[in-house]
Amino acid sequence: MSPESKRIKVFTLISLVYGLVSLFCGIFMVSALGEQTPVGAAEAGGGVVSFVLGIRGSLLANVPNKAGGLMRLSGVLLLVQVALIAAVVVLVGPAAAQAHAPALALMCAGAVVTLVVFCLSRALHRRNLAK
């Protein structure tokens, strides 16, 4: 396995763990804390998106020739995560969104991990095309 594939594998596994943590935090926010539903639902949705990236990405990272598929998958999932963050800010309002800063920070962390997977898979895909 090439060093680039190893890096992608590590970040997809980070995404997998993050997805589980974020999913449970979102469910906990809605059920136990009685937080506003859009914030908890978006948190849980972001967790599902990161979990999907972690599972599919860790399988695709084993084969360097499938970097293009991983690039497309992570790009779509990045757009979904950014849309979830924007939906929370719009639905809750900018002033109330500051009260939910930890949840938004957790969602942004997931988007950053997805962006890193996208960039690494894009670099590996371009390197494969150059051969």
Q: What is the mean pLDDT of the chain?
A: 86
Q: What is the pLDDT of residues 32-87, one digit of tens each?
A: 766 567 788 888 888 898 899 899 888 888 888 888 888 898 999 999 999 988 88
Phi, psi of 127 (to 5 degrees): -65, -40
Residues 22, 43: Cα–Cα separation, whole Å: 6
On whether the pTM is more than 0.85, the answer is yes
Handedness of CA 29, 30, 31, 35 (dihedral sign): positive
Please tell me the predicted confidence (pLDDT) of residue 34. Answer: 66
Residues 3, 128: Cα–Cα separation, whole Å: 14
